[in-house]
Structure 1
Amino acid sequence: MKAVVLNLVRRPERLSRFMAWNGGHDLDFQVVAAVDGAGMDRAGLMAEGLLDRDNAMFSDGALGNALSHRAQWQAVVAEGASRLICEDDACLHGGLTHLLPGLARVLDRADILFLGYNTNAPLALTLPEGMVMESYFGWQNESSDFHAAFAASARRAKPALHPVRAVWGTIAYVVSPAGAQRLLTWCFPLSVRRGRIRFAQARRHVRPRALDGMINLALQGGHAQGVACLPPLALSPNDASDVVTAFPCP
């Protein structure tokens, strides 16, 4: 399976950190230059049908992020093969390489497999018997070398796979060709008017402000099927200055 990491050319330090964390995996990561959202031509994006006219809630960073993933989805469709797509702040669990082939088989019945997600935002999953779980994550002991230890962990991870109703961030996932086509069709144009993401337990709705919000609308509307690992096999530092998410972080 092809594996790519998205990195802004002007952020080489993030790529260096990604490789330090994940270089031990038996994955030959292809480095792909991410789209830089700075100074994005919004009028041009609107003319191409990629952005709705009501777009003030989508930051330049959100636009660059969305277009970076869109290019990967187009490549997946063109090549007809599933692909692991990582952002440059993803830290992959040490046991991922051995688990990935088995986990990816879920794409026979789903469109996208979320290996990780932002842990400073709620995760909503469908459990057996139709139960719905919405939860936040906390840390018992998050030391300064936490992510390095996670990446080097020899612990035999046994994540459960559950249908996902809402997941925030696009740090590491595998998408199938059929799933990529569905997401391309549904997620663009980026628009706050497409709907609101529902949180049943919190009785709250939020509008999409980034690509992950558009993906959640697709999942909740039945336009795409997603599955997430619990616990996650990919983590992010959740740096508030870097996180591009539609969910207001605490």
Structure 2
Amino acid sequence: MVFLYINRDKDEKRRETFLANNAHIGNLKRFSAIDGNAIDRDELINRGIISADCIYTNPAIGNALSHISLWSGVMESGKTACIFEDDAILCRNFEEQYEKILNTIDSDWEIILFGYNTDALLALDMVPSILEGAFVFNNTKFKKNVGQFSSRNITTQTIKLREAFGLCGYAISPRGAARLTGAIIPLRRMELTINIMDGSCHNGSLDNFLCAAYTEMNAYCCVPPLCVSENDKSRSTIWNGTDFYY
């Protein structure tokens, strides 16, 4: 079992922190992220990767293309991948729980979120077509105690996902990778409907696009999560909420 994490070449400190937080996990393989600061937008437009009306910042393009590059590998290999961003913290028994998920979930799944942002709502189909719910987290308590997460054993279950923010960790199947790649390329202006944001949202980041896409997919998330992220927006290179919501 191989797990991929996305890390920019210049972020050696984040790499060291990620590996220290997840020293209990085997087979962690680094993927060199696409540097948004080195992007040539005109070249990407000419190649049909983005459209001229794309409102992604260059760092947001780099983030999106890093994930999409890994999706291409999933499609080419025909094998599922587990993908993590370099601020993810995995629970102590992650590998055991992931094996359990694969043995119990329907084979036609497309994406499974191992974690999600705790400063936003999470929308689930608790009983598909019968009972839906939106759930809020105590993010203040989480921030104080997040350092304990890697030492915890978690017993999780997969629940049908409707909407969530955050890409700290997920599994994607070849079918899911093909569906998402076909829907998002070229990166372009879209007006997205996201109910947990109580309205419309600009397609200004991969995270926004995916939040709106899950409802149409065979998407699941782990409850409770198997990985978490502090999601420190003060350190984010792509976050600017006013660009996305209205």
TM-score (norm 2): 0.89
How many residue pairs get aligned? The number is 241
Question: Does structure 1 retain, via aligned residues, the 8 Å contact 2:124–2:159?
Answer: yes
- Give the match for residue 59 of structure 1: 57
- Give the match for residue 211 of structure 2: 216
1:49-95 CA distances to partner (integer Å, 9 max, x unpaired)?
Answer: 22122123x12221111010011001111111111101100001112
1:83-135 CA distances to partner (integer Å, 9 max, x unpaired)?
Answer: 11011000011121111112134361210010011211221111105322223
Q: 3-state SS of the aligned residue for 2:37? A: coil
Q: How far apart are the structure 1 equivalents of 2:106 and 2:81?
A: 11
Residue 140 of structure 1: how far off its partner (Å):
6.4
- Give the match for residue 130 of structure 1: 130
Deviates more, 1:162-171 or 1:76-85: 162-171
Question: Does structure 1 retain, via aligned residues, the 8 Å contact 2:110–2:218?
Answer: yes
Deviates more, 1:58-67 or 1:124-133: 124-133
Residue 191 of structure 1: how far off its partner (Å):
2.1
Question: Does structure 2 retain, via aligned residues, the 8 Å contact 1:187–1:215?
Answer: no
TM-score (norm 1): 0.87
- Give the match for residue 199 of structure 1: 195
Unaligned runs of 5+ in 1: none
The structure-2 alpha-carbon separation of the partners of 1:188 and 1:69, relative to structure 1 and needing over 3 Å to count, comes to same
Letter in 1 for 2:63: N
Letter in 2 for 1:138: N
Unaligned runs of 5+ in 2: none
Superposed counterparts of 1:62-211, under 5 Å: 62-105=60-103, 106=105, 108-128=107-127, 129-139=129-139, 141-142=141-142, 146-153=145-152, 155=153, 157-193=154-190, 195-199=191-195, 203-211=198-206
The structure-2 alpha-carbon separation of the partners of 1:232 and 1:245, relative to structure 1 and needing over 3 Å to count, comes to farther
Q: How far apart are the structure 1 equivalents of 2:161 and 2:151?
A: 27
More helix by share: 2
